[in-house]
Structure 1
Amino acid sequence: MSSHHDHQKGLLITAIGGLTLTVDIPLIRLADGSPWTIMMLRTGTTLIAALVIWAVWRALRGNAPQLIPGWSGLVVALCYGLTGVTFVTAVYHTSTADLVFILAFNTVFAALLSWLFLREKPRLGTVIAMLAMILGVLIIVGGSVGTGHLFGDFMALCSALFVAIAITISRASGKDMGFTALVGVILPLAVALFMVSGEGLHVNQPWWIIFNGSVIMPISFFCLANGPKYISGPEVAMFYLLETVLAPVWVWLIFAETPSRNSLIGGTILIVTLVAHSLWQLHEGRRRRVALAVSHPA
């Protein structure tokens, strides 16, 4: 009964995190400001919120995890910091659909890095999924040639790579990196502060981005980071797909930004592949657990 309750709890927590994350890009767009001002406000409020939550946690319970656990934590924070820079840059240089579809490619990078550095050889089904996703990204990027979106697509691809590196190092270290992603915003905050000091503040609706950084980002990161405590990795991955599916919908409804034909084709390939692969992993996991229970009965 407890196990069933924990699973339901994990599904609820992760669903909240995934749904919350879907409004990140629309809020950035609604703030209507320059990239550096938006980055400064988004990362600054996220950092303040993270430090307040950590301080309250430490004061009330005394068992708050380290903000940056050792050298591995420092590298993970750096990766998330670089992601912050490339992500906001991509928001301003490519379409929302291209951005979220390419970000989903981080699963391929994670699988490749795990293969190279953790000696976790991917199974045939994963290799097939990786090839399909490479095809999807190539279709999206190919459609951006000559449209001015190629640089933004490259920044989105860099974001996917940095997230994959952070995930791989986190898994290899086995340390609690719950607050590390939030503290990692120090890097883009420092860069943004330097740039804003020269060009000045440029934002028409600052409350949208302040709300994003102080509420949306902490909730989404906290919930998604805690999901794996209760449910499997493939199930968590399914909720990350909510941003891939819903963010372009919100942007279409608010800004009337219609995805290109290539973006829709490539994005469909990515989403179908990720869903099919996640369902396959869930099936394989259940099958292995059943086999283990039969061979080792209680």
Structure 2
Amino acid sequence: MSNLSSNHARGLLITGIGGMALTVDIPLIRLADGEPWTILLLRGLATLVVTLVIWGAWRMLRGDAPALIPGRPGLAVAGLYSLASLAFITAVYTTSTANLVFILAFNTMFAALLSWIFLKERPRPVTLAAMLVMLIGVFIIVFDGMSSGHLLGDALALFTAFCIASAITITRASGRDMGFTALVAVAAPLLVAAFMVSDTGLQVAAPWWIIFNGAVITPVAFFCLATGPKYITGPEVAMFYLLETVLAPVWVWMIFSEVPSTASMIGGTILIVTLVLHSLWQLQDGRRRRAALAVRHPA
């Protein structure tokens, strides 16, 4: 029983580190000040190189490195992360940072819904109520995006959230270690970006920011977030994306003075408050359940 609690705590720590690292992803993309395909190329190339170096060193020194793509579940997860990467980079340039991260936070509820459908992990009534409230928040943001010209970016953000939630669900169902899978998934978007850039050349003002992002921030963030489902539930993993929802707009506001629209703030506030309250309830409920199991099955 103590081993179960230890694994859960390990999962929360690993995923928390990944979520915190992810908060600076968008600010670094914006600081690089480049054309989307160039950004995707440099970010993906740096991530792929670092990933292969770390994986190769791990395999040589210890011999127990996880598979880069573990079977068919790994292919599915890699494909979903590839689609998410393409949609995310495009969304960064077609909607506001606040809209993007607020809508991405909906992946928590996508994860709960997909776990219900495919893993038979029926959401509690509290989770269903939270889904309904969050739908209202997303609707407010997207409706505002229709009038402000951000509809495409908002739709891409929603698609990104769905892809990430789907990848989390498959990882949880398979029980496989997908830490490296999420990182090598950049290979497909990288090839697309390389083709697009071949005619125009690299267009970026400060490449060091995006290279640092790809070489350090992205590997740490996605390795941790993709490893989390091995130890904790999909909705719990998705919860840590809330850190980006809360902090990324703060960093962008501090660096670029980008102020969210009124509708974005209203919808975002609904999302954040609902997620915080639901997450606190979920963690407390999880503690009660583990405590009950510990009483019934003492070690």
Name the residue aligned to 1:71: 72
Name the residue aligned to 1:155: 156
Q: Which amino acid aligns with 1:115?
A: W
Summarize the Cα distance change of 1:13–1:116 in structure 2 as closer, same or farther, 3 Å threshold: closer
Name the residue aligned to 1:146: 147
- Answer whether contact 2:182 2:226 (CA < 8 A) is retained: no
Alpha-carbon displacement from aligned partner over 1:112-136 (angstroms, at most 9, x marks no partner): 2222222222111110011111111
Q: What is the percent sequence identity of the aligned residues?
A: 68
Alpha-carbon displacement from aligned partner over 1:88-134 (angstroms, at most 9, x marks no partner): 00000000000001001112222222222222221111100111111
Separation in structure 2 between the aligned mates of residue 114 and residue 235 of structure 1, nearest angstrom: 11
Name the residue aligned to 1:197: 198
TM-score by length of 1: 0.92
- Answer whether contact 1:31 1:205 (CA < 8 A) is retained: yes
Separation in structure 2 between the aligned mates of residue 285 and residue 7 of structure 1, nearest angstrom: 10
Q: How much has 1:239 moved relative to structure 2?
A: 3.5
Separation in structure 2 between the aligned mates of residue 295 and residue 119 of structure 1, nearest angstrom: 24
Q: How much has 1:295 moved relative to structure 2?
A: 3.3
Summarize the Cα distance change of 1:21–1:108 in structure 2 as closer, same or farther, 3 Å threshold: same
Name the residue aligned to 2:214: 213
Q: Which amino acid aligns with 2:82?
A: G
Name the residue aligned to 1:101: 102
Q: Which amino acid aligns with 2:70?
A: P
Q: How much has 1:201 moved relative to structure 2?
A: 1.4
Summarize the Cα distance change of 1:258–1:279 in structure 2 as closer, same or farther, 3 Å threshold: same
Q: Which amino acid aligns with 2:89?
A: V
SS in structure 2 at match of 1:259: coil
Name the residue aligned to 2:84: 83
Name the residue aligned to 2:137: 136
Separation in structure 1 between the aligned mates of residue 164 and residue 243 of structure 2, nearest angstrom: 17
Separation in structure 1 between the aligned mates of residue 232 and residue 116 of structure 2, nearest angstrom: 23
TM-score by length of 2: 0.92
Name the residue aligned to 2:19: 18
Structure 2 regions of 5+ residues with no counterpart? none
Q: How much has 1:179 moved relative to structure 2?
A: 0.5
Q: Which amino acid aligns with 1:217?
A: T
Separation in structure 2 between the aligned mates of residue 98 and residue 12 of structure 1, nearest angstrom: 27
Q: How much has 1:291 moved relative to structure 2?
A: 2.5
Q: Which amino acid aligns with 2:219?
A: P
Separation in structure 2 between the aligned mates of residue 171 and residue 230 of structure 1, nearest angstrom: 9
Separation in structure 1 between the aligned mates of residue 91 and residue 221 of structure 2, nearest angstrom: 20
Separation in structure 2 between the aligned mates of residue 81 and residue 231 of structure 1, nearest angstrom: 23
Separation in structure 2 between the aligned mates of residue 179 and residue 104 of structure 1, nearest angstrom: 23
**Bigger shift: residues 206-215 or 118-127:** 118-127
SS in structure 2 at match of 1:93: coil
Alpha-carbon displacement from aligned partner over 1:144-196 (angstroms, at most 9, x marks no partner): 12211110000101100111111111111111111000011111101101100
SS in structure 2 at match of 1:154: helix
Q: How much has 1:17 moved relative to structure 2?
A: 2.5
Summarize the Cα distance change of 1:228–1:166 in structure 2 as closer, same or farther, 3 Å threshold: closer
Q: Which amino acid aligns with 1:291?
A: A
2:285 corresponds to 1:274 = no
Q: How much has 1:230 moved relative to structure 2?
A: 6.7
Q: How much has 1:81 moved relative to structure 2?
A: 0.3
Q: Which amino acid aligns with 2:110?
A: F
Name the residue aligned to 1:39: 40
2:243 corresponds to 1:242 = yes
Separation in structure 2 between the aligned mates of residue 236 and residue 193 of structure 1, nearest angstrom: 32
Q: Which amino acid aligns with 2:204?
A: V
Separation in structure 1 between the aligned mates of residue 114 and residue 123 of structure 2, nearest angstrom: 11
- Answer whether contact 2:107 2:238 (CA < 8 A) is retained: no
SS in structure 1 at match of 2:93: helix
2:269 corresponds to 1:262 = no
Summarize the Cα distance change of 1:264–1:9 in structure 2 as closer, same or farther, 3 Å threshold: same
- Answer whether contact 1:234 1:282 (CA < 8 A) is retained: no
Summarize the Cα distance change of 1:242–1:176 in structure 2 as closer, same or farther, 3 Å threshold: same
Summarize the Cα distance change of 1:161–1:3 in structure 2 as closer, same or farther, 3 Å threshold: closer
Name the residue aligned to 1:253: 254
Q: How much has 1:19 moved relative to structure 2?
A: 2.2
Summarize the Cα distance change of 1:83–1:283 in structure 2 as closer, same or farther, 3 Å threshold: same
Separation in structure 2 between the aligned mates of residue 117 and residue 275 of structure 1, nearest angstrom: 25
Q: How much has 1:228 moved relative to structure 2?
A: 5.7
Q: Which amino acid aligns with 1:242?
A: L
Alpha-carbon displacement from aligned partner over 1:66-86 (angstroms, at most 9, x marks no partner): 000111111110000000000
- Answer whether contact 1:57 1:64 (CA < 8 A) is retained: yes
